[in-house]
Amino acid sequence: MSIVCAWKGGDDVVSITSGSYIGFYGTAFNQSIPLNNYNGITVITNKLGTVNNGSLPNAKYTSPGYGIFTNVTHGTISGSIDSIFANTGVDMTLHIQITSGSASRLSSVNLIAFSGNDVSTSPTDATVVGFESGSASWTLMDGLANPLALTPHPAASTTHDYYASVSVAPKVKGATTNIVFALQADWL
């Protein structure tokens, strides 16, 4: 069975191609995120973070159940994450689509944020939070020990769609941090 995982912006306007990176910035491209603040924009970029290859819907954490969201469809909206989007993916940072050659079910689906090559390693110098569309609050994403748990898909299908938003805040002034995202799931 072949399995393909496509990463796109939640609004499906921009695809995150192989070899691309997601950049989290202050209020403009290439602007640092101030200490104790969360990202103001999210873009597709290169490994050095010096090329803007298109904006992704941005999610900015403000408090456990709230955020500020910006995208090309709705502009900027703020409010409760469980009611503002009515479970649509358009305002979410990521649309993760898993396709397979034969119908399958998914359980134990996790989006993991980590540093380096080891999924058990927490992101260094940054706090990463996220939520799946329809959730009521943000989750601290802290390596394999504390991933963003996504909804299982118990019905067999060849396509499984997930919509998630992530927001990043630096812990150390002047730090440049590489955060790696991985998707883990059990196939049935």
User: Which residues are CB-contacts of 118 (< 8 A; sequence separation ≥ 6)?
Assistant: none
- The stretch 100-117 carries a mean pLDDT of 90
pTM score of the predicted model: 0.91
Per residue in 71-89, pLDDT tens? Answer: 877 788 888 888 765 556 7
What percent of the chain is predicted at pLDDT more than 70? 93
Distance CA 165, CA 91 (A): 8
Distance CA 8, CA 110 (A): 17
